[in-house]
Every structure is written in structure tokens, then in C-alpha cells.
Structure 1
Amino acid sequence: MIAIDTTFFAHSEAKNKKLTYSTSIFTADLLDAFVQLGAAGNFCLIVNFNHVDFFKERFPAYKIVAAKWWPVTLLYKLTRGKKTATKLIKKCGAFRKIAEKCGAKAIWFPYAMNETFVRTNLKTFATIHDIYRIHHGTQKEAAKFTEFINDKTTSLITISNYTKNDIINTTGCKKDIPVIPNSIVFDVSRQQKVPGLEQKKYILDLNAYVEKKNPMTLLKAFNLIKNKTDLNLVFCGGYKEDSIWNKMQEYIQVNQISSRIKLLFRVKDEERNWLLANAALFVTPSLFEGFGRTPVEAAICRIPVISTKETSLFEATQGLCNYVENATDEKELAELMLNIIENPQEEKQLEEIAKKLACIYKAENCAKLYILSFRSYI
């Protein structure tokens, strides 16, 4: 049996019974796929003590092991859930003991970072989504992450060849690192219209409001073509940096384009599906992705997609979409957007792209690759 660390799932996700972070969605898709393959009995889930009810309801096929330490559970009880302090469970050594006593032969960390990873005596697998922290974190964070990556006791898995090569070139890692892409799973038929939007009358960007997602370049590009199209621009994200959010708001007000822009935050899954299914054009101006899920989702929905070629995006979209060469050049992006709006792609071409990507990122196919990597321990 293999233990799977799911303690990185956010408290808000467990409380609201809604997954909003890409790493949680990635893990949930694989857990569901293991069930479809009849393999759930080979795994147990180590979950935060205050997430047990959520995981039992969401993943009933799995054995659930609660990660707890009495000072933390007491604090949680005394503050009526206001203070969780669950990170201390990993820091104090309680998580390691729980993992080693749960009956598993190995442990898998689906989201392996400095703050999520714990060394145990079990055979260890760790999925690395990206090494953004090494490039842009503090010197201490970078050194700790590099040390973890080169730990001889841990087998690494990456979600893209970009991340694999980045690890090798940046850290000098000599390990054999298999690449297993993220699966793409969503039932786009479950939809709820977003008030104030018309079908096929908007350009869509589904990304967090953070600097590395580069929303300002798209905003500036739209401003350049706003008088040449009747399409509006819709941003939608589940996380935001106040500095970027405020910068976007200021730009919108200064350029008097508030009637043409919508900034949506943490919409329902059904609303997100509706946004994807009914966009006229999808644009991702991102500067950094370990994988790049949202443009693939849009392409599977047969929506024309514009992407940058930064990091893993060209790989994730299989080179099947439309691309800008300079990710921060709003003039180049504006020109490409207008060209696609005025010269729409044929439905047959969009359908072929959708079928190819849906097959590549089918959850069961990705789950089989993980099972193959774990085969000696299940």
C-alpha cells in the first residue's frame, strides 16, 4: 500500500467542499482515476485531522488516516476552528510517525515543496510541478528545495519535460525523472450562466491575478483593439495578489474601459464551465507554468486559444494553438488577437485539436503511468 499526502489541500476547500487550487484539482483527478481503474485499495490518504469528513465524503473508496498532534487539535478546539496550526504536525515529527505506522510501504507527495515534504523511512515519491521557488524565492528557500530534489532517498516525477529539464539544468540533479502530465478532467456540460455576459461576446483569461500570470499585458493589448471589436474581456481567477489586482483596477479606471472589462473571482464550477464553453477567444499571457492547464481546457472546449511560449505552455498545448513570441509585448498580442477575431478558425480544425488533447490528458491514462511508477510497492 502507498500513503498519499493530501494535507496540502486548503482549509477553505475542505470547509466549502470545493476544490479551487490547481494542485488539489490535479490530485483529486488522479484519485478519481485510481477508483475508475479499481486501484483505490492500494492507497491510503493522509489528511489533516479537520478535513476527515470532507475526504470521507469526497473519496469514500479510500482508507483515511488523520494527521493529528494533540497540542494542535486542542488549539483548534479551544479557538473553535479559528486557528488550525496544522503545519506544525509536519514540523514536530507527528506526520512522520503517522505515515510510518499506517501500514504503507511507500509514500507519495503529489505536491512536493519545502513546506509540504517530510522525510520518512518509507520509500518516497514526489511530484514536482515547477521550481519557481528556486528561481524566484529567497536564497534559503532555493537552497532547501535544491537539497530536497537531490536527496537520494526520494524518487522524483515531473508534470512536463520543461520542469524536468529545468530541474536538471538548474540543480544538477542526476536522477532518472519520469514525466507524467497533468490529467484534464471537467464536465463542461454542468453549466450556469454568469450574469451580465453574452455568449461568444467575450475574450477569456482563466488565471490567478498574480504577476507571473502577466494579466497586465493582456489588459493593455485589449485596450489597443477595443474600438476594433465588440468583444469584451473577462478575467477569472481563484487567487490574487493585491498589488496586481490594484494595478489592474487602476489601469481600467484611467483608460475608462470598465464597461468592457469583467474581473471575476472564485466563481462556481458551473460558472467556470459556462465561461469556457461560451468564450469567443481564450488568451493566456502567462510567463511561468509548470504545466498550463487552462489553455488545454479551452482548446478541449473547441475555443480558439492564444498562448505564450513561456516555460511549459507550448509543450502542454502540443504546439496546436496560436502563440506570441514576446510574452510581454502588448502590441504583438493585440495584433494576433485581432487577426483571430477577424479570421476565425474553422470548426473542423478546433474539433481535431480538442480530440487530440482530450486523449493525451485522459485521467485514466495518466493514472496508469503513476501506478506503473509505484508498481513495486502496491
Structure 2
Amino acid sequence: MKLLIDCHCFDYPVPQGINTYLRGLYGSLIPKAKNIEFFFAANNIDSLINIFGEEKNITYLKIPAKGSLLRLMSIFPSLIKENHIDIAHFQYVAPFIKNCKTVVTLHDILFKDFPQYFPIGYRLSKGILFKYTAKRTDLLLTVSEYSKRQIAIHYGISESKIKVTPNAIIDRFANVSLSDAKNYVKKHYGIDTYILYVSRLEPRKDQFGLLKSYIKSGLFLEGVDMVIVGEESICDTRIKKLLATLSFEISSHIHFFNGISDDALTYLFKSAELFVYPSKAEGFGIPPLEAAVSEIPTICNNTTAMCDFDFFKPRLIDTSNLDVLSHLMRDCIMNPPAKEELFAIKKKVMERYNWDRIAQDYLEILSNIRTI
């Protein structure tokens, strides 16, 4: 079987959840599937080689750094034909010319249920393209039961025809000691005790509500800082207005970081006293799981795909209630959960969201795709 994987997302300067998904899924699948010839396609071949390695059954295809329309109209159909590809795996949208079996992972269609968080141009274009692709692909994948249900509802596709291949978590914290992490954060950022948030900055992630809850908690008076890590993808003007009203006594305890390396992020997770994830809409939600694996207390919103994270109870709450959130934040700092409880949560996360198991399930699906 010849399997082509569209990896153009690795050409983007800012990594996204898709990158984590492809890296984890195929990094675990390659050793299991010696009978599959993998064709990874992107402009930056060196980046792909660093990620997936060099094996006899791996070929790297360089594609031009062109726009998405050209990729879908001509580049990928030509690559598929030239390399006699049997199956091609795309994220969200497949080529308009279909000359092999296709697998498409539609991670979420949040814009259908939460239109207020997405520009109208995005909603219109993605609504057409996603539905068109979902209807004609040979195998439709998504990353959570929530996304599966919503795709079925909005696009009129039977849930039985949608397979869930969730994201998974790698324990990158195992070899990092707490003392080393704290020393690193103190040296590079000058921070001792802090609450952490990690993800893109945009209104649906509700950093605004998080900041208001932090201020309401009064934890800055106890020397507890708020650290927000992430690139701004959609400006939330409410945050700028809020920050402009704060006294130096409060604002000096609030820190925004972007462009953080993976190593630095590992230390920031490991050294944090608490992680809070108040996002209002997620197709999956990786950051709180990473926090769990780093064995720090985690407060997570209980909506959309995150409602599956039952291991966070009783800290899986409605974070839109700022009084409840601020009280719980303070309680977690002043009365932190026992280490045994945090380790038990980590174990549940690693067992449920495991790349080795997910890759094995995916391999079985691929082996049957020619009969679809």
C-alpha cells in the first residue's frame, strides 16, 4: 500500500494542533506498518526528516510553497498520479480531483456551533469546503466524540461512518526534575510561583475570563503570578482594555509570553503551581492533558470535547462562572491536591490518550479501507 500524507502544515512558522496529531499518529504508525510505503509531502523536507526519520519505506516529496488552492487543484492530484498512490490522508480538505482513496481528518467544525468566534468569511468558505470533503471522502476521521456528534448532525453523515482517532500525549516531563524546572523559570523569566495557561490567544479561549478570575481571587497579593503562553491569533480587545485599568501592583504579576521553545514550555509546565484552561469551545483540547501529565493541578472547562476529561473532576467545572473559578483557583493554590491524586490523573490520561494504541487502531482501519 502506498500512503501519501499531506504535511504542508509543518511549513507554517507557528505549530498547530494538526502538527501534533500527524507527528504522534505517524511517528507511532511507521514502526508498526512495514508493509506500507509512506509518502510525506511538504515544502520543508528537512523538517519532515527530523520528525519522521529516514526508513526504507519512507519517501519525502517536496511541494512548492504555493497557496492552498493550487495544492488542491493540481499539486496533490499530480503527486498522487505520478507516485501511484493508493490512499492519501488530508486534514480538513481533500483535493477537488479525486484520483485515489482518501482519508480526511476533520478535527472540528466549531464555527457551526460557535459562529460568534469566527469571521463570516471563514464560516462561509470552510462550511462549504469541509462539508463537500466530508461527504465524498472514503474515510472520515475526527479527534473526539464531541466532534463526531456535531459533524454527524450538521453534515447529515451517520456517526457509524465517522471514526475517532484522538490526539494523544507524550510524557516529555519524565526526565525533568521540579528543582531544575523552577531554577530555569526563575533564571529566564524571574518568576517563582505562578498559575499557567497555554494555547492560542483568541476570544473563544477566554483568557479574558481567566484574567478577571485571577484578579478576583486576589492571589497576586500572595505573590502568585499569572503566566499566559501563546500566540495571538485573534485579538481580544477586552483584554487590552482590562490591562489598561490595572494598577502596577496587579499588572506586574501578569505575564504574556509567545515564541516559547518546546524545552522552555516543558519547564514552564513542570514548575507551575496550577494550570487553568477556561476555553469555551474545543474540538479536543491538548494543553490541559499536558498539564495533567506534568502532574500539576488542572482546572478545565467542562464544555464541548473537554466534557470527556472526567479524570479532572472535581476541577472539571463551568469556568464561565467567574466566582466559582476564582474560588477554586485560590483553593488549589492554598490547599493543593495530594501528589498521589495528581499521579493517578496522569496515569488515566496516559492510558486513554496513548499514541501506540491509537496508531494500532488506525492501522486496522487502513487495512480495510480498500473494501470501503
Normalised TM-score (structure 1): 0.84
What is the correspondence of 1:132-151 to structure 2 with a 5 Å cutoff?
Answer: 132-135=110-113, 136=115, 137-151=122-136
Name which of structure 1's ranges 314-323 and 181-190 shifts more when overlaid on structure 2. Answer: 314-323
- In structure 1, the residue matched to 2:33 is 39
Number of matched pairs? 348
Structure 1 distance, partners of 2:147, 2:162, is 10
- In structure 2, the residue matched to 1:171 is 155
Query: How much does 1:234 deviate?
Result: 0.4
What is the CA deviation profile of residues 19-71 of structure 1, one whole-angstrom value per residue up to 9, with x for unaligned ones? x2211111111222123x342661423423x3122223332235234254xxx
1:122 counterpart = 2:123: no
- In structure 1, the residue matched to 2:358 is 366
1:209 counterpart = 2:201: yes
- In structure 2, the residue matched to 1:79 is none
Work out whether residues 280 and 303 of structure 2, in 8 Å CA contact, stay in contact via their aligned partners in 1.
yes
2:139 to 149, 155, 161: 155
Q: Percent identity at matched positions?
A: 23
Structure 1 distance, partners of 2:225, 2:34, is 45
- In structure 2, the residue matched to 1:234 is 227
What is the CA deviation profile of residues 190-226 of structure 1, one whole-angstrom value per residue up to 9, with x for unaligned ones? 6762323445x10001111111111000000011112
1:97 partner letter: S
2:265 to 260, 272, 297: 272
Listed as ranges, the gaps of 5+ residues in structure 2 are 116-121
In structure 2, relative to structure 1, the CA distance for the partners of 1:143 and 1:103 (3 Å cut) is closer
1:376 partner letter: N
1:217 partner letter: G
| Secondary structure in 2 matching 1:344 | coil
- In structure 2, the residue matched to 1:8 is 9
Listed as ranges, the gaps of 5+ residues in structure 1 are 14-19, 74-83
- In structure 1, the residue matched to 2:118 is none
2:367 to 356, 364, 375: 375
1:87 to 55, 61, 68: 68
1:58 counterpart = 2:51: yes
Work out whether residues 3 and 104 of structure 1, in 8 Å CA contact, stay in contact via their aligned partners in 2.
yes
1:165 partner letter: R
Cα RMSD (Å): 2.4
- In structure 2, the residue matched to 1:334 is 326
Normalised TM-score (structure 2): 0.85
- In structure 1, the residue matched to 2:252 is 259
Structure 1 distance, partners of 2:352, 2:317, is 24
1:102 to 71, 83, 87: 83
In structure 2, relative to structure 1, the CA distance for the partners of 1:88 and 1:128 (3 Å cut) is closer
